[in-house]
Structure 1
Amino acid sequence: MRPRGAIALLILAALSACASQVDAGVSQDAGAPGFWWGLWHGFVFPFAWIGSLFDPGIAVYAVPNRGGWYDFGFFLGITVLGGGSWFGSRSRG
């Protein structure tokens, strides 16, 4: 790994250590969205975002949710299912 990449990775890790979630945003109720709803919300994110520009009743992220598992599903939905991943965009040659 190049020194610049290692430094950037270290800075990102330090910044992510400062992140926290508001306790009111996490719910363990049976009806709170979990992993599967996070996956779905991540997948439909582009459409929900466009809709949210015109309708304040449309949200792109469910609050409250079950916390880390919802976030993980949301992340997977955006990057893998939503086509947001840049890994396949490398040119071949």
Structure 2
Amino acid sequence: MTPAERAAWMSGFESGYADRMEREHRTYAQAVEDIARDYVRMVALNEELDEVLRDAVSHPTFDELCDRRGQHERAAAARRLWRERGVSA
């Protein structure tokens, strides 16, 4: 390979390498932005879920409501079903 060919080859190689590095940097920056956007969305979903859970635990359970209405068999059936399915102890 002549010196001129070697210089042309090295110039092409360096240009390709620089282009690759620039694309990788942009890809990394985009990934960081995506992760940040997903994190913000996840925080918002967790806050919404916390509100739903607080609301759910602040109300009586189905079996308690059945007992209040005098439907003791229905309450017992609900408790038994929950125990069988591992929902409650």
- TM-score between the two structures when normalised by the length of structure 1: 0.27
Q: Identify the structure with the greater helix proportion.
A: 2
- TM-score between the two structures when normalised by the length of structure 2: 0.28
Query: Based on CA coordinates, which of the two structures has the bigger radius of gyration?
Result: 2
Structure number with the bigger relative contact order (C-alpha 8 A, sep ≥ 6) is: 1
